[in-house]
Structure 1
């Protein structure tokens, strides 16, 4: 009986322990699943732009089959463009409008809706100064409305292309911008229509100019940036860039990068990143060698640059790939240790409870055995004592 009792309690103990473990795991899994579902519920389908648009092309539209404006203009000319908006929904909406010049981002992609990138120094006429329009348009349910954009060309003639775009986005959407790490996360649905202005059919040949090299970060990873500009009012296509970074007066390549099939907007600059591959940034003098090619065109630069102690310390503290003494997550460690201690306490309490029950039941078993007849006793009617 004692063996059976002990075995039964051991089984009960493990059942309790396993139930406790599974319960804890189930609660944790439920929390994770709920968090993921909540995040997913915040998104919208791509059809949720909430409106449609169409373009009315004027007579000076170079190609009416295009999905954007390409206009042949004259110096000082003023013109009105018409964009037609429709709201197919059952509720009134507001569409925000923004006019931005064409820029080139870090990945070699031309953007027509990024206000965070500055204009290049070679840009003679900013698109935002030439093309103006309302900041928003309100549409009632089922309403169609014509919205005017005004183009006012500079009095001075120019060669090449002035490029920009109209961004159209339903009001109420959110945008999260990370200026520190160099990345941009957008939770929104928008249309962008390019607007190209030119005064002649003359095709210009793009030309690149080196600006500078410097230490920085891309997505919170230490990097070196190579900044160069397309100083001509013409698009540069099929661009390949190879860049190497060495210590000054050394031929040993520390970091390198290569990217193909890039484009640059007219009169725009690019900040080409060279990753440090998760290494710490060190202060000192460096040299970069850059080779850029597009078709038969070729540009090559070898330039020196400096990384200061302050810059290196600042970026090393922000690099998420580096293990920092000051970056130890003590809160997470305390949470893990606390959870471990709590689990040990629970297990110890269960073991103690099991032992107490075992001792109590053991004592009860001994008392029962004393009352039982001995192995030598005989059953039957007891004999009478002699007097």
Structure 2
């Protein structure tokens, strides 16, 4: 059994859970921008060489000491359109020159907190000498290591896993105008067929309320055969994610197609058109398409038969009522 608790809310002052038996909260420094009760780190680092990140861990268990793993992760955009602030395998998901996880002087720490007490943990971030535009985003990740075991049925033992995260935002130029820019990198086609659009926020800007409207059309035709529209996606700075458009659709046979994708956030608008091809070994097999088509035909026949049966019954009832009236 796994339970992950992540703080994304700007209004939350602390992250806690009764089952986890601990809570975490940020300890703000003089570098904090704006609201001191935001529930996350929003830091302006103009001339600082090292930035202290302090997190308070409270052990809510009055009988047992708890051990925690504390480390710094990066912010990435998930394929479902949320921001994950504790990613440790960013790889190609981030295109920024600097990553918050790489700025931490101590990559990870183990911390023991006595029963019913709290402890403040210090994490120092080494700020790059060269300038960086926009925002670097990540988070402080706190994981309880001595998690409780739970006996399940049939002798299977499960382990509860508890982790919490507080977001970190770093900027050197808080008053600079930041403009997001979304780009369609490529169309990914895999067996199924599964169609995904690889999308990137190429600028160091964190933003939300992203609308995506994707349409797939046969090449050189205006008829849309597959469409997917979503609202309120959240996007991390300099991040890349895969937007799933279609999965195992019988409408997409082997051939050439055009992806028409529109993205909007506020007044910003990005529109891209890209051609792609579904190869024979990637499309739905012919025998499977025939089965699906046959199933659709059978369903239509059944529905029409039921409708005709209902009409016939209604006619019979009306005729019987008329005969009864005439006899009277």
Provide the residue aligned with 2:126 in structure 1: 152
**What is the aligned partner in structure 2 of residue 50 from structure 1?**
21
Other-structure match for 1:123? 96
Find the residue that maps to 1:156 and give its secondary structure: coil
Per the TM alignment, residue 101 of structure 1 is displaced from its structure 2 partner at its CA by: 1.2
Distance, in Å, in 2 between the alignment partners of 1:295 and 1:72 is: 25
Higher helix share goes to which structure? 1
Please, which runs of 5 or more residues in structure 1 have no aligned partner? 1-41, 175-185, 324-387
CA contact (8 A) 2:105 2:123 kept: yes
| 2:116 aligned with 1:142 | yes
Q: CA RMSD in A?
A: 3.1
**Structure-1 residue corresponding to 2:145:** 171
Deviations 1:155-174 (A, max 9, x none): 11122110111121212559
Match in the other structure for 1:109: 82
Check conservation: 1:51, 1:85, Cα contact below 8 A: yes
Indicate if the aligned counterparts of 2:211 and 2:264 stay in contact, CA closer than 8 A: yes
Which gives a bigger RCO, structure 1 or 2 (Cα 8 Å, sep 6+)? 2
What is the correspondence of 1:182-193 to structure 2 with a 5 Å cutoff? Answer: 188-193=161-166
Is there any run of 5+ residues in structure 2 with no aligned partner, and where? 4-15, 149-158, 293-328
Residue number in structure 1 paired with 2:250: 279
Q: How many residues align?
A: 262
- Secondary structure, counterpart of 2:101 in structure 1: helix
Q: 2:262 is paired with a residue of what secondary structure?
A: strand
Deviation (angstroms), 1:116? 5.3
139 and 156 in structure 1: CA distance in 2 versus 1, 3 angstrom threshold: same
Report how far residue 78 of structure 1 moved: 0.9
Match of 2:310?
Answer: none
Which structure shows the higher strand fraction?
A: 2
Alignment of 1:187-266 (within 5 A): 188-201=161-174, 202-216=176-190, 223-266=194-237
| CA distance 1:268–1:246, change in 2 (3 Å) | same
Q: TM-score, normalised by structure 2?
A: 0.70
Q: TM-score, normalised on structure 1?
A: 0.60
1:239–1:187 CA distance, 2 compared to 1 (3 A): farther
Q: Which has the larger radius of gyration?
A: 1
Tell me the distance in 1 between the aligned counterparts of 2:170 and 2:218: 45
